[in-house]
Amino acid sequence: MGTLITSISGIRGIVGDGLDPESIVKYTLAYSKFIGSGKIIIGRDSRVSGEMVKQLVTGVLVSNGIDVVDIGICPTPTVQFNVSKLNASGGISISASHNPNQWNALKLLNQTGQFLSPEEYNKLMKIFEENQKSFKKWNELGKIIEYPDGLKNHIDEIFRLGFLDINAVKKRKFKVVVDCVNGAGAFCVPEFLRKFGCEVTEINCEKSGELVPNPEPLPENITNTLNEVLKNKSDLGIVTDPDVDRLILITDKGEPFSEENTITQAVKFILSKKVGNVVVNLSTTRAVDDVAEKFGAKVFRSPVGEANVVKKMKEVNAVIGGEGSGGVIYPQLHYGRDALCGIAITLQHLSEFGGSISKLKDELPKYFISKKKIEIKSDPALIQNKLLKEFKNEKVNTEDGLKIDFDDHWVHFRRSNTEPIVRIITEAESKTEAEKFSESYLSLINKLQ
């Protein structure tokens, strides 16, 4: 029997081995009880199983008297945006993000178009555990509304953003290689770029429903795209994950811009327009702090996860936020990671900067992150407590695992919710130093076990 991974980020599993019709119906039923009434925005990424999942989800919602507004294949941020735009009671984006073809997921949204807060998630799970099966009569059923303008709503609003000077961007006539891993981005990103006057070369923009074998846009998975940027003499490369909430950039030299730099350059650009608070998660690069300091802005840190970043952004009224995974959150548009918005910020930033994206990268603070994981033989919580004692005199944060800030580096220890492992994220001013610190923490954990 397969397993499901359930969290505030959604309900995720392998189709037919954990994420089966029974589990989809049960979780959607609990969500329908959680929502109560109104209408729900439904969108999905391009994967083959998406239509099957959508049909099941739609049937359950309608049977509970909830109207379904189907906006088709589109980015997760498009679903989020339209929940607010259309005054819906919630939304479901059917996508397993960067997971491969055999996976799918229900990304559950509240009435503001954001992922469920921890409190909302706990309420949903309580309803799920109660397992009350009650459905509406034939004359109380919800309606299914096909709504083809969801993506248009989202893109139109991006082009209305105050910082955007479309004519200035068009003058640059950027040559762009775009790789959508055959995901939802194939249905919007190339055309979106052409609206900016870009000359677009498409890679993995097929609409067959079959994602590339390794759809997580890590450097090792996009070597062909890196080479194409160089071969094509393009100004930049753009890669999106299957549901277009993460933005990965490639320089004109055919090198990774780095996902940490995606959010760093976005913060730099937005703060140049309006100084205000910034929120990133605890595992995001220190470069954001350096950039913010130059503008006299303050950086706040949240636990990892979009819902946590958004919660903190609202608390401190942040002007920009995001995560080092390539997730840019610009609250003037909506509170969610949004690669389309990230692309707009990047193109405007480049047009005002005047130089190449590799030169823009050179002007950002330079840090290097090392990521490792270690299997824990005992209770991971005990290891964390031992680490806390070890570093009790340092600058520590225990909101999400254990983050320790030193002058020359930082380390973040995070327990996995699904495996008996601890992740070790370390950042320093050189790759050698980051690796050296990482290895020392691996050795320390082995000693503490």
**134 assigned to active site:** no
Amino acid at 444: L
Write out the two tokens for 243.
């549901």
- Whether the CB-CB separation of 109 and 83 falls below 8 Å is answered with yes
Write out the two tokens for 215.
């759809």
Exposed (0-12), middle (13-18) or buried (19+): which is 106, by Cβ within 10 Å? Answer: buried
The upper half-sphere exposure of residue 397, i.e. CA atoms within 13 Å in the direction of its Cβ, equals: 18
- CA–CA gap between residue 378 and residue 160 (Å, rounded): 54
Phi, psi at 269, each rounded to 5°: -70, -50
Write out the two tokens for 107.
């990304």
Amino acid at 375: E
Phi, psi at 209, each rounded to 5°: 95, -5
Cross-strand partners of 256:
250
- Whether the CB-CB separation of 174 and 249 falls below 8 Å is answered with no
- CA–CA gap between residue 243 and residue 47 (Å, rounded): 10
DSSP 270-284: HHHH----EEEETTS
> Which residues have CB under 8 Å from 329's CB, separation 6+?
306, 309, 310, 313, 320, 321, 322, 335, 336, 337, 338
- Whether the CB-CB separation of 323 and 306 falls below 8 Å is answered with yes
Q: Specify the length of the chain in residues.
A: 449
Cross-strand partners of 299:
278
Write out the two tokens for 193.
């770029």
Closest by CA position to 328, among listed 260, 273, 272 = 260
Phi, psi at 313, each rounded to 5°: -60, -40
SS3 label, residue 74: coil
- CA–CA gap between residue 195 and residue 197 (Å, rounded): 5
- Whether the CB-CB separation of 113 and 24 falls below 8 Å is answered with no
Find the catalytic residue in 63, 93, 95, 97.
97
Amino acid at 31: Y
- Whether the CB-CB separation of 184 and 243 falls below 8 Å is answered with yes
User: Distance from CA of residue 82 to its chain's centroid?
Assistant: 17
Residues labelled catalytic: 97
